[in-house]
Amino acid sequence: MDTNREQFGSRLGFILAAAGSAVGIGNLVGFPVNAAKNGGAAFLFIYALFVFLICLPVMLAELAAGRQSRRNPLGAYKHFANGSKLWPIGGWLSLITPYMIAVFYAVITVWVLGYFGAIVTGNLDTLADGSYFGTFINSNAVFVYLLLVTGIVGYILTHGVQEGIERAAKILMPSLFIMLVGLVIFVLFQDNALAGVKFYLIPDLSKITPQVVNSALGQAFFSLSLGMGILITYGSYMDKANDIPGAAKMVAICDTSVAFIAGLLILPAIFSFNPDTNPEELSDSSVALIFTFLPKIFLAMQASVGYVGASLVAGVFFLLVFFAALTSLVSIIEVPVSGTMDELGYDRKKSLKMLGITMLIFALACTLSFGRVDFLTSLLSYGGREVSLFDLIVDIFYDTILPLNGLIICLLVSYRWKKAHFDEELETGNPGFGGTLFERYVNTALRTFVPVILGLVFLNTVLLKFFAVDVIGKLNGN
């Protein structure tokens, strides 16, 4: 074991950091809208089942592999490969994926910070104009905000695991939760908010279709940051005395709780301040919802709380989303940082400098791919559509590769590392885990149906994104 490797200072610090990596824009906006479009409470039930029956075993696999190897994802795969040249390919994918995800996630984080800045300077009415978003993302202001985000993330990561990531998580995550609960309480006391609560919580089982099931699985898998190498990396920072199964359950509960509470904010707000909205017609894009739809909802609040009050609520919400995006971005970038430190022997500052410069170049290219540079805006054409550099990165590294990475880690743990060694690692720090029904379930799931499901999700995504063939839609009768 690498005795010099950085470690989390406490179990709480790990849980908050891991939860921070999972809680992001998808939880705060994508989850409640997905629930609204896919049967409300029926979607919530299916989502929760997938979190604990499918995603939790994958979480345990990633955390255990990280702690046992004490390495980054590439190092972990090499550790278990025993000289094989094939398995490290999974490690490379688990390093490249978060590197590229960090690029587009940084761009979205910049937009969130920019909107927060516009709100606090009294421009909520401007944000509510549907044309503002297109103007803003092509303005010079995004470069200033990009430097600010780069500086904040760099400051946190420079201070390492305990003094940087863990300390930031202990501040940002409780602040995020308090702000979220406060906004929920405010919205629930508004007129017609109860209609949104009923829509969100009363199930309509007739709406459970293959498409709904697929959406719930995708939301659960992506929400918990699986397949990004984050949990392998964070697992490598865990002390041997830590209880991996217990910590994983807490992370899943925290992530699901934030998503659920976010639903109690977004849906009642829509029904209260724009009751004519049909949730099933809402955009599938979290980006579109945050930057074009929700500002209109917040501006509509001025009828009951005035313009200043509406601006205050909108400001708190965008600060909330910024905190969520920031904690996710820090965790995502830590994966390639850890890889560079382990594989190249660089110290943390040198690794951050090298990766920061290259990521900044990619992020700048993405910011120019929304109309400023034609080549980057119309980079490729596939699946019946023209895509920009930004779209290409999202399609490949977020929508497509994550389930493939999850599939590979399941196969590595089950068929390369072997059941006995995996069980031994899970029982370290939790002696009572051995022989339990949960232990048997985890092993069975990782060896049988979980890899099959992830493989099917990967294939369906490839067909849909790149060839416009919607297998799930055909099963749904569309």
Is the pLDDT at 296 greater than 50, yes or no? Answer: yes
Stretch 192-205: mean pLDDT: 83
HSE of 150, CA atoms in CB hemisphere, 13 A: 20
Residue 1: pLDDT band (50, 70, 90) is very low
Q: How far apart are CA 327 and CA 307, in angstroms?
A: 30
User: In 3D, which of 78, 18, 74, 53 has the Cα closest to residue 242?
Assistant: 18
Element (H, E) at 281: none
What confidence score (pLDDT) does residue 165 get? 95
What confidence score (pLDDT) does residue 477 get? 64
In the chain, the percentage of residues whose pLDDT exceeds 70 is 96
In SS3 terms, 35-76 reads as HHHCCCHHHHHHHHHHHHHHHHHHHHHHHHHHHHHCCCHHHH
Domain boundaries, the chain: 11-125+143-362
User: In 3D, which of 255, 245, 246, 233 has the Cα closest to residue 330?
Assistant: 233
Burial class (CB within 10 angstroms; exposed 0-12, middle 13-18, buried 19+) of 123: middle
Query: Chain-wide mean pLDDT for the chain?
Result: 91
Burial class (CB within 10 angstroms; exposed 0-12, middle 13-18, buried 19+) of 377: middle
What confidence score (pLDDT) does residue 279 get? 67
Helix (H, G, I), strand (E, B) or coil at 386: strand
Which DSSP string corresponds to 337-385?
A: HHHHHHHH---HHHHHHHHHHHHHHHHHHHHTTTTTSHHHHT-EEETTE
Q: Is the dihedral of CA 342, 344, 350, 353 positive or negative?
A: negative
Pairing mode, if any, of strands 380-382 and 385-387?
antiparallel
Task: Domain 11-125+143-362: give its CATH code.
Answer: 1.10.4160.10
Kindly state the DSSP code that residue 387 receives in the 8-state scheme.
E
Please answer whether residues 93 and 401 qualify as being in contact, where contact means their C-beta atoms are separated by less than 8 angstroms.
yes
Residue 24: pLDDT band (50, 70, 90) is confident
Stretch 430-453: mean pLDDT: 95
Q: How far apart are CA 200 and CA 267, in angstroms?
A: 7
What confidence score (pLDDT) does residue 273 get? 84
**Range among 38-47, 139-148, 184-193 rated most confident:** 139-148
Q: Pick 315 or 206 by higher pLDDT.
A: 315
Q: How far apart are CA 456 and CA 442, in angstroms?
A: 20
Stretch 316-344: mean pLDDT: 95
Global pTM reads 0.94
With b for 16 or more beta-carbon neighbours within 10 A and e for fewer, the 333-366 pattern comes to bbbbbbbbbbbeebebeebbeebbeebeebbebb
In SS3 terms, 430-458 reads as CHHHCCCHHHHHHHHHHHCHHHHHHHHHH
Residue with tokens 């705060």: 28
User: In 3D, which of 226, 225, 245, 213 has the Cα closest to residue 406?
Assistant: 226
Is the pLDDT at 283 greater than 90, yes or no? Answer: no
> Which pair of structure tokens corresponds to residue 183?
């906004």
DSSP lists the bridge partners of residue 386 as 381
HSE of 469, CA atoms in CB hemisphere, 13 A: 7
In the chain, the percentage of residues whose pLDDT exceeds 90 is 73
Q: 8 φ, ψ to 5°? A: -70, 145
Neighbours of 428 (CB within 10 A): 17
Query: What size, in residues, is the chain?
Result: 478
Burial class (CB within 10 angstroms; exposed 0-12, middle 13-18, buried 19+) of 230: buried
